[in-house]
Chain A
Amino acid sequence: MSGPATVPSVVPAPAVRPNELVEYLLRLGDDRLVLGHRVSEWCGHGPILEEDIALSNVSLDLLGQATMLLRLAGEVEGRGRTEDALAYFREVVEFRNCQLVELPKGDFAFTIVRQFLFDVYAVVLLDALTGSSHAELAAIAAKSLKEARYHVRHSGEWMLRLGDGTDESHRRVQLAVDELWRFTGELFAADDVDRAMQDAGIAPDLAALRPLWESLVRDVVSRATLTIPNDAPRVASTRGGRTGLHTESLGHMLAEMQIIARSHPGATW
């Protein structure tokens, strides 16, 4: 390089190992693929027509976001795997979604609480990712954030209506909060992959996002006249999804999700 030596105004980010970036993109993509599939299980089973349509729309958005993220993961990986190959031809232990999203859909209250906890997480995380040093990831985040904003309005308004509704709706939604709360620790439990992404400016500090997430969640939960269970046991009890350790239910879900693609490899329609 010629010219006078200057002090760079920005410290160059350390190089990221491609496999770490692939790993990170799979986490983002798999969260949305698996949750999108779970939500799609409501199609034709929603409690009212408007809600059936709403959940199917949310599912479609999540699957669209997963498509963008898994396509990018496949491109970065450079082994020729498309988003479809990643969705349909990986085994359970290769999935990188958090355990929260893979649990069976449960009743409507369970689904709404899970969506709400995830939607707030998505809004907070995607908002931070719009500032990612990885231009394509930042673009996908900005696009997805618009959708996450109306997802959280949908699930949040249901939280209020069910929590502050009838005795039965309150009972069911409180049960779901009690059951699901322990799965939220994993959302903010950073490991080496997250730290590498953070050092490279690709992803935010997960732990730093948590106070905002928690204040948004607690505000709605208390307005819905619900309570959050004691914090202590939640982080230790349920994690491992990010490294391929899943609950039994993910295998069953994948069997159903993947069977057509595996029975007729390469089929087009």
Chain B
Amino acid sequence: MEKEFYNDNFEEFLRESTEDFKMYPSRRVWHSLYNDLHPDRKWPSLAVSLLLITAILYLGVINNNAINANTNNLLAAGKEAGEVATKSTSFPGGDVELNSSASTQVRGQKSIPVKVSPSLVGASDSYLVQMQADKLRVQDLLNLNIPATAIPATVQVDRNDNVITGSPDTKNTMRTSSAFVYNNLSSAQANIQSDLNPNVAAAQTISNPGSSTTLNSLPVIENKTIDPTSGNNTNANQLTGGITSAKTVTNSLSENQIFKSTQNLDLPWVEDHAFYNRKNKGVWKAKSSLQYYITPSIGYRTIETAPSPVVTNSVVASAPATSNEVDQHAAINLEAGAALRYKIGKKLIIKGGLQINYTSYTINGYELKHPSQTTLALNNTNSSGSSLQPYNTSYANSPALSNSKLNNKTLQFSIPLGIDYQLAGNHRLKWYAGATIQPTLVTSGNAYLLSSDSKFYVNENAFINRWNINTSLETFITYKLNDGMLLQAGPQVRYQMFSTYSKQFTASEKLYNAGLKFGLIRNL
């Protein structure tokens, strides 16, 4: 009763019109579905990824050990050279003796590795190897068995809302150029609209030479008509040919021709043109997202020191017993930034952005009551080799009597460019690995440089390089909220590729930090 009261032809019309409406989902849906249905099969990729991360860490540790051994050798050589120096030196200030025979060994975990594993940086290549572009198999879609004559309103739409094959009205679905041209041309065939010949628009238009003078003037390259009864499997190919024809015509039209052909026509092509432009923008937006992140981390450094040409005694007014040990400690670092991410494949995302980093580590030193003079080993600018340059300093390297924390810090702005690769996940929870390379501008900093005899620190910021390159490796999980926003969390390692100091200073310091990155990703 109720249905009869409300139901008229309108419902029937709607039902018939939309019954065969089809859209082709992206492969992402099936992959997510597959992962949900077969969770056990996620484990191989999970295991491989864990193995990869373990291998990277292992290589890093191995490399560090080798580096420490190298450092000890280098410092031992320096110690032998240091035998020239007095074993016990009195200073005019008189109340402190410097003992240069102290061990040159670097203390504890805070050793001074000379090099850093390149594997840590180069490991991102192995992710790249796994990446495979996921292309929509258009041919598969084209070969679907859909009788052209049996579906008066069948519409099949691909991921970008393009019509793959369909009814007479598919003529309007050719995107951008072909749609543009079609709408201009289709006015000429307004008088044949009653003829519902299920041909592809472009082919139909081109195959009616008498329908328009505009058409006749067009340099038609190909004249192709699709026979709707010619069979299912060839239908798509013919459609493809028709589209090609339309595109060829489009390409051969000058703007002037198009304008002339349309200026007298009252067609809503402007609307369509605007629509397609809007959709193109939509596609770009659909693949893009904006990421905001912050990464608290622990920062540290590796340092490689060249043997000093000559190790001299410092002339110190008042200094405690110093040593060659370097007592350095990690400190809190911070990173914050924003990045634009663009999905270029099923699992691959490229990203670029702007980021600010505060890096820091501390050295335990002893603040002298009176400034002292020491030397820094600097490379000669005009010739090979190095020489010692005198500097005044108020900080001695005296871990045993440490009373001052010397904070080595920099403020950096970088442009991280990189990729994220999805390792596993479903539509809500995803696991990624990522890597970036970061051209970096160091805007300010504070550097305490170890003197040539390793007994003092000189606060000299002029040697800080303004430009550098950093790299980062990260792995993280994202969780999709109901409003489509993603929360991100995961560990990150950042490593500085070149020395903090300019080439003039003989020591090479490379900063690194490890932290937890928290982010928020939202669609544009």
Are the chains A and B members of one assembly? no
